[in-house]
Structure 1
Amino acid sequence: MRNVRPALWFDLVLLALFVAITVALALRTPLLSVDLAVRDFVDAHRPTWAYWTARVFNYLGQGGQVLTPLAVLTAVFVGWRTHSVRPALPVIGGTVITYVTIGPLKVWTDRTAASDDDVVHPEYLFHVPTGMSYPSGHVVNAIVWYGVLAILLGGLLPPGQLRVIRYGAPAVVLFTTTYLSFHWVTDGLAAICLGIVLDRILQRVPWNTIPLPSWFTARGWSGPIDTAEFAKSTSLR
């Protein structure tokens, strides 16, 4: 297992924060007033040009429509250049880890979107069985999938550009989902905690040493995701 800094205690802190936010919302504490205040503020300060700009940038967090296909295409490209099937492994890991966490949590918490005007107290958790707002899937997807892209592009891009991919895009998605009232601000905050934990789990996996079926090994398709030859053979670096 690869070392990820900070150590495991950081994951536990993030999980504790996620639980604390969830409990605070479930108990209907004053934290709900923060959600309402932020929602009312952005609704009152959203000119048409800003709305459409935010809508465009919000696609950076579209999992099934944008991020998953982008990760698959990147894995195919990197796998072709490195002559390895290993680039597919982080994509499979990202798919599984988001599928078993985001969806069940959304179904369980029953919270509607900040833009829902047809529900009395849409800010409440465990309030509307059809609600699917908590936590923000866009934000979790952005953190997880841009982390996967960083794993795949580790042999291509310098660290500075990788950091922009990993942190810049999720920050934009967090802002746009809140600004457009697609999500409550606490949906995003909880998603940050959950998404970073999931990302750190994927970053710990030793993708380059996971045993593969002998068929791939015998045919030379079991090499590491990022190789010196890969970095030298591309003009993108």
Structure 2
Amino acid sequence: MRESGQGTGTVRRSGLRLRPVYPGGWWLDLLLLAGLAGLTLALANGHLYGIDQAVREWSDNNRPDFAYWIARVFNFLGQGGWLLTPVAAILGILTALRSRSIRPLLVVAAAYAATYLTIGPLKIWTDRAAPTSKLPPEESVKIFNSQLPAGEYSMSYPSGHVANAIIWYGAIALLLVAFLRTLGRPHPPAALARVIRIAPPLIVFCTTTYLSWHWITDSVAGILLGLFVDRLLTRIPWDDLPLPALRGGLDRPGVFTSAP
């Protein structure tokens, strides 16, 4: 039920409830955080470096030119700055125009803020070089490596491509389903949202590791972080968020009522 606050210019909605996620509950979220913390701790204590180096060596020895270029092209699916953010923004704007509501733009803003506040700080904090570093592998593979020379790339962990792909494609799937509803498709195929959410992140995980742009543990950490953030964003009740009463009813709900 919608209630208008008197004299406050705000809109209050009773019964604010989190949207469902699958699987339900908070146990998986805690497991994802524990996995990320455990992986980081293991690397900090020198474990798993052998796996990282073995995967890098195999990739470098099994990467013909045609496979390199195929992987590089598909890896663009994880480009957050000039691909995923603009695509989500355009889709958000189109959905906002069609629904005459600013709520789709909140999804884009939240996804951007979530990636900015999580991925970047972790990269800076963990100080890890990439597999393509000119340093010896036994040095570049180290995490929390404060001895990296000046100018050395030191933001490999976690993989931003992988985490970005999970977070942004989750937002894109949500917006696309809402946009299709504005076109008269009240029940867009759920399989479409699942493919968008799953296929690109898996492709980015494989290509980023295969190209030796990230250690495999970087990519695993990107999955753990990305899934955690995605589940938080998925829970947000976009249609029920209290917004100021905007001119023209631009605060109107109902945009994501049937969206997954």
Alignment TM-score, normalising by the size of structure 2: 0.83
The answer to whether the Cα contact below 8 Å between 2:245 and 2:251 also exists between their aligned partners in 1 is no
User: Who is 1:204 aligned against?
Assistant: 235
> Match for 2:248: what amino acid?
R
1:5 equivalent in alignment to 2:22: yes
Q: Deviations over 1:81-103 (max 9, x none)?
A: 11111100111100111111111
The amino acid of 2:105's aligned partner reads: A
Aligned-partner Cα distance in 2 for 1:49–1:84? 46
Q: Give 1:227 deviation, angstroms.
A: 6.5
Structure 2 gap segments, 5+ residues each: 1-17, 181-187
SS in 1 for 2:132: coil
Please report how far the alpha carbon of residue 153 of structure 1 lies from its aligned counterpart in structure 2 after TM superposition.
1.6
Contact 2:39–2:221, Cα closer than 8 Å, also in 1: yes
CA distance in 1, matches of 2:22, 2:231: 9
Query: Superposed, which structure 2 residues align to 1:1-237 within 5 Å?
Result: 1-6=18-23, 7-29=25-47, 31-119=48-136, 121-127=139-145, 128=148, 130-155=153-178, 156=180, 157-215=188-246, 218-223=247-252, 224-226=254-256
- Distance (whole Å) between structure 2 residues aligned to residue 99 and residue 75 of structure 1: 19
Please identify runs of 4+ aligned residues in structure 1 that moved more than 3 A.
Answer: none
The amino acid of 1:159's aligned partner reads: A
- The code of the aligned residue for 1:177 comes to T
Deviations 1:77-136 (A, max 9, x none): 111111111100111100111111111100000001111123551110011375000000
Letter in 2 for 1:192: I
Q: Deviations over 1:185-226 (max 9, x none)?
A: 0001011111000000000000111122212xx412223324
Q: Which has the larger radius of gyration?
A: 2
Contact 2:103/2:238 (<8 A) preserved = yes
Instruction: Please state how far the C-alpha of 1:28 moved relative to its aligned partner.
Output: 0.3
Q: Which amino acid aligns with 1:11?
A: D
SS in 2 for 1:3: coil
Contact 1:39 1:184 in 2 (8 A): yes
Q: What letter is aligned with 1:71?
A: A
One-letter code of the match for 1:141? Answer: N
Judge which range, 4-13 or 199-208, deviates more. Answer: 4-13
8 Å CA contact 2:75–2:203 kept in 1: the answer is yes
Does the CA contact (< 8 Å) of 2:127 and 2:156 recur in 1? yes
Query: 2:12 is matched with which residue?
Result: none
How far the C-alpha of 1:63 sits from its partner, in A, is 0.6
Q: 2-side partners of 1:16 and 1:57: how far apart?
A: 30
Q: Which residue of 2 aligns with 1:234?
A: none
Aligned to 2:7: none
Q: Quick one: which amino acid aligns to residue 104 of structure 2?
A: P
* Equivalent-residue separation in structure 2 for 1:65 and 1:2 (angstroms): 30
The number of aligned residues is: 226
Q: Could you state the TM-score of these two structures normalised by the residue count of structure 1? A: 0.91
CA contact (8 A) 2:238 2:256 kept: no
The runs of 5 or more residues in structure 1 that have no matched partner are: 232-237
**Structure 1 stretch displaced more, 219-228 or 10-19:** 219-228
Cα distance in 2 between the residues matched to 1:182 and 1:3: 35
